[in-house]
Amino acid sequence: MTADENSAETRGPDFRGRVHAVVHGVAYGDAMGAPVEKLSAAEIRERYGRVTSLRTEWHRTGQSEQARQGRIRGHGIVTDDTGMTLALMRIYGRERRHLDAWDMGTGMVREITWERHWVPELQREAALIERLFYPEKWIFQRHQLSGCDPRQGGVGNMVNCGAAMYIAPVGVVNAGDPQRAYDEAIAFAMGHQQSYGLEAAGVLSAAIAQAFVPGTTLDQVIRTAHDLAHDGTRSAIAAIVEIAETLAAKGAGPDEVTAAFHTAIAPFSPMGDDLVHTPEKAGRASNAYQPSRLLSIEELPLALGFCLTAGGNFKQAVEDGINSGRDTDSIGVMAGAILGALHGPSVIDPEDAALLDDANRLQLGAAADHFTDAALAIQANDAASAKAILAARRALSNPAKDKAAE
């Protein structure tokens, strides 16, 4: 084997291939989890046995249109997780620079409110805000209706995984630089989320940026996520990783893993199994989903844990996350994005990719290519800026020598 061949083998998939895999991982995990979202693990087992395919019927199919809120799911249809990820990719495509909270207040507000795209769950062209959950509609309310300082856009919002679920593109743009990915995700998502919901967005971006590093391992990705996390998010990741390593060593089955994970995450997450909003819950005072330095969204630590217990296997990690119940689509999105970045296009099954495009009227490959071009342009600007900064610092360290050299 030549040195060049060894180098290519060490590098693994190229940047473009990994971006395609991240985009596919988001859509795949989203569409896989959507039909069973809000069911408990026990309910999924009772109804489906185990979800292993995109061609799964939504558990609410057959209910009235009012009960379904006019939506359809199943058989490859994605949700707002993918919709907002694609929106963020389009913002990068237009701006071709790093983003901050002002881009949430302009670019994301325009994307979700004033641009119309095919919304698969509604089966029509619409503004994405028609589909969004209340914490994501907050973006429009705070930035356009309230005219807030963009950096305070997330203040007062319900704390949830809404920012983390679409933040993967920030990790892509900052591939190889987890700290910068964390910082940019925080700077951008603070226009939407606060507290541990904001923290999760930063940590997931960092994990994805680390996964792009040639030759990196899943353990290194998870260590990066843990080390850059703060407060309850860091503690929750540590708790899940500890139990995941134990379960992986003993070869525990998915049901045992899910039960152990839910026990481990309970001190950090207010979610539980009862996710359905009903009239009976109106007016109940609760600390759930309120700012806290001690809590964590559960989707990110669980996604990391399922990646570990699956040994980094893309499909197994997504499937195990989906079958654990609760916020299934977002767990699938996070596991899919991380392992897509780590493994590259080998995770893309052509049949699954074709179904995702067809069911959602998307061209995920073309969207990934356009986003890749924007990310590469940003990275080229970063390289030029870094070179100029280095030259300036060298001049400052020895100005007399540099002047003599002139």
Residue 97 DSSP symbol: S
Please list the residues that pair with 119 across neighbouring strands: 124
Distance of alpha carbon 37 from alpha carbon 76, whole angstroms: 14
Checking phi first, is residue 284 left (phi over 0); if not, alpha (psi -120 to 50) or beta?
A: beta
Domains of the chain listed by start with CATH number:
15-275+290-405 (1.10.4080.10)
Task: Give rounded-to-5 percent helix, strand, coil for the chain.
Answer: 65, 5, 30
pLDDT band at 289 (very low <50, low <70, confident <90, very high): confident
Instruction: Answer whether residue 404 shows pLDDT above 60.
Output: no
Share of the chain above pLDDT 90, in %: 88
Instruction: Answer whether residue 2 shows pLDDT above 50.
Output: no
Phi, psi (deg, nearest 5) at residue 119: -105, 105
More confident residue, 8 or 282: 282
Say how many residues make up the chain: 406
What would the mean pLDDT of 337-361 be, rounded to a whole number? 98
Residue 399, burial from CB neighbour count under 10 angstroms (0-12, 13-18, 19+):
exposed
Q: 3-class SS at 342? A: helix
pLDDT of residue 256: 97
pLDDT of residue 270: 81
Whether this model's pTM surpasses 0.75 = yes
Residue 178, burial from CB neighbour count under 10 angstroms (0-12, 13-18, 19+):
buried
What would the mean pLDDT of 390-402 be, rounded to a whole number? 83
pLDDT band at 406 (very low <50, low <70, confident <90, very high): low
Q: What is the per-residue pLDDT across 128-180, written as a single tens digit (0 to 9) for each?
A: 999 999 999 999 999 999 999 999 999 999 999 999 999 999 999 999 999 99
Tally: H helices and E strands in the chain: 19, 2
Distance of alpha carbon 367 from alpha carbon 175, whole angstroms: 18
Which residues, other chains included, contact 47 with Cβ-Cβ below 8 Å and sequence gap of 6+?
36, 39, 59
Which segments are annotated as binding site for Mg(2+)? Answer: 79-81, 327, 329-330
Instruction: Answer whether residue 288 shows pLDDT above 70.
Output: no
pLDDT of residue 11: 75
